Amino acid sequence: MPDGTAHRWWIYQFGPEGVRPLSFPREKLLTDDVFPTAQRPAIGPRRSAVSRTRASITNGPAKRSRSGRSPNAHPLRQALSTCLLSHTASITIGIVCETRDFDRKDKKVEPLSQTFPRPNRPHSPIAQKTFCTVSALGLPRRTFLKRLAIFGGGLGWQAAAGWAAPGPGPKPTDEELLAGAEERIQRHRKGEAVVEVISAGRPVSEATVRIQQTRHRFLFGCNIFMWRPMEADRPEKPKAGQPTSARKAAPSDTELQRAYRQRFADLFNYATLGFYWWAYEPKPGQPRHEYTEQVARWCQQHGIVAKGHPLAWNWAEPRWLPENPEEVLRLQLDRIEDCLKRFAGLVDYWDVVNEAVEFDRPECRERAPRLTALWAKLGRAEFTKQCLQRARTASAKAFLLVNDYIVDPRYEKLLEQLKDREGRLPINAIGIQSHQHGGTWSNRQIWNVCQRFSRFGLPLHFTETTILSGQRGWELPREKWISTPEGEKWQAQEVVRFYTMLFSHPAVEAITWWDLSDLGAWQGAPAGLVRKDMSPKPAYEELMRLIKGQWWTRTEGKTDKAGSFAWNGFFGQYRIEAIVDGRQVEKSVELVPGQKNRFVLELPAS
């Protein structure tokens, strides 16, 4: 078998008319059957340059130069330049490359990035065009197309493919990004549906149809660390089996606990439960499953999705861990398997590995020396892979995440290292922390983070969000760190902006607030949406207005002559009802993106 590689390219043009694929083998990249001479624009000397490159195209594997670069890289740029020149407007081109490596005797995906710059000759036709960056994805063609179908059109293809906003020109300002949020929300978070009312197999006209949303598909969440059994006395004397994460400064009064639960269930459909190893299993072989199961069952009863956080983190460690790294690894992986199997059906979302990028920071080395030594021995990527593999082995249906507060290229590098040979990540979503104790992110920062991480083609979960209602800073004196009227007003304003920006991005599927109440909040900060007495701050009321008001669907109308009633709503679960002449029928349905969403209600015969 000859040395080198052979390639097959799929080029996708994105334009107003949709996605148009071009497919051809690399050796035919510049032949007349792909780019007929009659269709090529007259570009003077550059055309002859394109023609001269044909000599380097072979029918076999591409030869490598001494530098290791393919001699066909330049023809690729030239061919795509020719393609771009056939359009009068700026267009976006995407490439997927599948590579056959004859030395390895298998297929792999070869990432590539090519930029089409402006030529130096200002009078040439090329110089009159606006060029864009052309990227090749590190994933197979079918995977790309599948993701494209999931995310849909518009900005969806960017999330599926992982490209930043196409085309040059000035970047949108903070004001423009926020101004466009409502249109993006309408486009990405809502869908068309039809209710058909029949009776005895015939359509029923003039039937009253009522549509009432009951649950969002999008996950609006919060940690639920303050939940505790009603009969508990004081936080200083917790009941056996209750982890530290749930009992710190917990409400000691039944009325406070009842109010806490009510505020939580009224607003959220997603809860993060604490699984911090050092608190969850203070004695070897005695994990505190009983309390956690109580919380998870309460969530289930209230239609709240439960997530476990975290299964592997070295911020601290159980005191009983041995010194032997191999034994520590065995215990860590066994813990992951035990938790996933025990809580299957109750807790199916998991932050498996937390904050792996800076696992070796000084605080971790000091507070968790044995766990940190294990991570260092294996490497952050290998340790993370093994944890995820054990989690997937324990539950094929579990929804797995990695989670980090690092949002710079180091996190992206780790994610790249986690990919398998086919370019797939072993997770279901990417967790992004957004604690904003010192000040809030700008709209541009929010958007850039979403765009950069959406290139992996996975949903984004903002797992830990904090915006303060008092003095901004980190670890300030607790006795003076209180919520103020001015701070609460600012917090509400920023919460609305932050949630609106995230809800408008098609790749984001979940936002989790960190600490519902100021009572027991992390660092003692005024970070809650409600005060210590559980009274709502303006931020809570504003989120309620958005989540259960502006972003919530209630409508009604009459069926037409065909017995149909068309409507548009936010994706999620609904209760639909039809009434005519005293007869009534009701049904629970779900409005799902990418489906026809036609719901039939059959009235009893008159």
H helices present in 86-199, as ranges: 141-151, 156-161, 174-179, 181-188
Mean pLDDT, all residues of the chain: 79
Report the SS3 class of residue 5: strand
Residue-level pLDDT at 170: 73
Express each pLDDT in 284-294 by its tens digit: 999 999 999 99
Share of the chain above pLDDT 70, in %: 68
* Distance from C-alpha of 527 to C-alpha of 510, rounded to nearest angstrom: 19
| The residue type at 116 | F
**If you ran DSSP here, which 8-state letter would residue 235 be given?**
T
pLDDT band for position 7 (cuts 50, 70, 90)? very low
* Distance from C-alpha of 158 to C-alpha of 460, rounded to nearest angstrom: 14
CB–CB of 224/264 below 8 Å?
yes
According to the per-residue pLDDT averaged within each range, which of 8-12, 62-66, 534-538 is highest?
534-538
* Distance from C-alpha of 345 to C-alpha of 315, rounded to nearest angstrom: 28
Distances 423 to 245, 312, 450, 600 between C-alpha atoms, Å: 37, 24, 20, 42
Compute the Cα dihedral for 226, 231, 237, 243 and give only its sign.
negative
Q: How far is CA 24 from the centre of its chain?
A: 33
On the question of pLDDT at 349 being above 70, the answer is yes
Residue-level pLDDT at 14: 42
Q: How far is CA 427 from the centre of its chain?
A: 11
* Distance from C-alpha of 408 to C-alpha of 387, rounded to nearest angstrom: 23
Identify the weakest region by mean pLDDT among 180-184, 226-230, 435-439.
226-230
**CA Rg, the chain, in Å?**
28
Strand partners, 274: 309
Strand partners, 523: none
* Distance from C-alpha of 94 to C-alpha of 201, rounded to nearest angstrom: 49
**What size, in residues, is the chain?**
606
Q: Using N-to-C axis directions, what is the helix angle for 73-85 and 45-52, rounded to 10°?
A: 140
* Distance from C-alpha of 474 to C-alpha of 488, rounded to nearest angstrom: 18
Residue-level pLDDT at 169: 55
Query: Where does 187-214+552-602 sit in CATH, by number?
Result: 2.60.40.1120
Express each pLDDT in 475-512 by its tens digit: 999 988 999 999 999 999 999 999 999 999 999 999 99
Domain residue ranges of the chain, discontinuous segments joined by +: 5-169, 187-214+552-602
On the question of pLDDT at 566 being above 80, the answer is yes
Residue-level pLDDT at 490: 98
287: nearest Cα among 348, 344, 242, 230? 242
Contacts of residue 219, defined as CB under 8 A and 6 or more positions apart, other chains included, come to 269, 270, 305, 461, 509, 510, 511, 512
Site of tokens 């199997």:
341
Question: What is the maximal distance between C-alpha atoms in the chain?
Answer: 86
Site of tokens 């869908």:
191
CA atoms within 13 A on the CB side of 118: 10
Residue-level pLDDT at 606: 75
Distances 204 to 577, 578, 600 between C-alpha atoms, Å: 13, 10, 11
H helices present in 302-396, as ranges: 325-342, 362-367, 369-378, 380-394
* Rounded mean pLDDT, 20-37: 37
On the question of pLDDT at 599 being above 50, the answer is yes
Express each pLDDT in 153-200 by its tens digit: 333 334 333 334 434 457 889 999 999 999 999 999 999 999 999 999
Q: Using N-to-C axis directions, what is the helix angle for 325-342 and 369-378, rounded to 10°?
A: 100
Residue-level pLDDT at 152: 34
**If you ran DSSP here, which 8-state letter would residue 478 be given?**
G
Report the SS3 class of residue 38: helix
146 by Cβ neighbours in 10 Å (0-12 / 13-18 / 19+) ranks as middle
Residue-level pLDDT at 586: 97
CB–CB of 36/16 below 8 Å?
no
On the question of pLDDT at 603 being above 80, the answer is yes
Burial 220-247 (b: 16+ CB within 10 A, else e): bbbbbbbbbeeebeebeebeeebbebbb
CB–CB of 305/271 below 8 Å?
yes
Q: Kindly report the pTM of this predicted structure.
A: 0.73
pLDDT band for position 21 (cuts 50, 70, 90)? very low
* Distance from C-alpha of 297 to C-alpha of 309, rounded to nearest angstrom: 17
* Rounded mean pLDDT, 241-247: 48
Residue-level pLDDT at 230: 82
